[in-house]
Amino acid sequence: MSDGLHECKNAMLALEGSTVELPVWEGTEGERGIDITQLRGKTSHITLDSGFANTGSCVSKITFIDGEKGVLRYRGIPIEQLAEHSTFLETAWLLIYGELPMREQLKKFSKTVAETSLINESLHYHFEGFPRTAHPMPMISAMINAMGCYQPALYASEGADFDIAAARLIAKVSTISAFAHKKTVGEPFRYPHPGLDYASNLLHMMFSVPYRRYNAKPEVARALDRILILHADHEQNCSTSTVRMVGSSRANLYASVSAGVCALWGPLHGGANMAVIDMLEQIAGSGLTTRDFIDRVKDKSSHTRLMGFGHRVYKNFDPRAKILKEQCDAVLQALGANQRILEIAIELEEAALNDEYFIERNLYPNVDFYSGIILKAIGIPVNMFTVIFAIGRMPGWIAHWREMSHDAAARINRPRQIYAGSPLRDYTPLKMR
């Protein structure tokens, strides 16, 4: 087993008159898992766990979450410290390589990202194959796969080839994302500016036009950088598990993260902050007061949902939400934003935080609530919200692909099933049907 694990005891499974002994492993934070790797071989039985909610698919050293206590750490470092003191690129290095970079390492990495942010000119023509009405996410997935054709040694998980691939992916995903946005709004592509920090450069490519360059306010660039940090990894979620699943076949890094983009595109995964804005716009258009909407949420017969509150993993509070609330306040103040839906968001937050119905149920604002408000205030279109999520998640996907590739015990992922279809039956010839 991996370093950091130790066998604490054995579990005894009573099955059909016999007892099977299964090892129990404990991680560095006290998490325990029953090792069922030999279960089918010893008993001819498998476990059934729809959605894998109780299944540990791997041993990982990247991210730790304690949903009950509202804890999120990257490589052991609390997310609060990273959001306060780090940058997205420094956090990316930490996730991928396991330690905070030394000064020269970070300088070299940042320089590589800046210098490789251009995409090959021939790739520009790929965008012509998409209609303007296309969602940016499938464009990005396709472009990442296409980018893989331009780099040899795609299968390296260590050394210079991997380092270049990792830096290029982080660099170029922001460029192709901005280009996808320009495609949908019918504006010319704006090339990356190597003199800008990562977040400012992304905003420049999205919002600059030939006759006017967009200069991001420091509060806006910092807020976007923090959004990227807070989304950089989140353990074995759907898209990260997809990257690992695809990578387990020894698919290259580009193909694996391209699949992760597709998984993230699903509305139950990466679209939560879009749902927040949809909800706010519906309230604004309905003429309802915030109090009226809250009352509808509390009335189960109305089937009205409060989006952006509560979290499947965090049973108390989302630690990322606390960080983004401060950024939300700073951005709204810096931009002087007074849009009605932003006013509704603030009213909704205050009402829910002071209502016993939501307090008793631990329905606090989550990261999607505040990130949606910030992105809306910045002027990022709703169809680009999930794209920003994908840009932020790229270091985590890379880190998990690399970790899986280094695991000597890893095998191609192949879940089992319990068949519940028709029993054995004979073929009926067509003339007899």
Hey, which residues are catalytic here? Answer: 311, 368
d(CA 54, CA 222): 37
The token duo for 327 is: 């950024």
* 3-state SS assignment for residue 118: coil
**Is the CA virtual torsion 320, 242, 119, 191 positive or negative?**
negative
Q: What burial letters (b/e) apply to 8-23, b meaning 16+ CB within 10 Å? A: eeeeebeeeeeebebb
d(CA 207, CA 76): 36
d(CA 198, CA 175): 10
- Classify residue 99 by burial, with Cβ atoms within 10 Å: 0-12, 13-18, 19+: exposed
Cβ 291 vs Cβ 351: under 8 Å = yes
Name beta bridge partners: 34.
24
Residue in the block written with tokens 């759907």: 238
Count the Cβ atoms, other than its own, within 10 Å of residue 324.
26
Count the Cβ atoms, other than its own, within 10 Å of residue 5.
15
Name beta bridge partners: 72.
65
d(CA 92, CA 225): 12
For strands 32-34 and 77-78, give the pairing.
unpaired
For strands 32-34 and 63-66, give the pairing.
unpaired
Distance of CA 363 to the CA centre of its chain: 21
The token duo for 114 is: 């800046």
53 CB-side CA count, 13 A: 4
The token duo for 155 is: 């299968």
Would you mind telling me the total number of residues written for the chain in this entry? Answer: 433
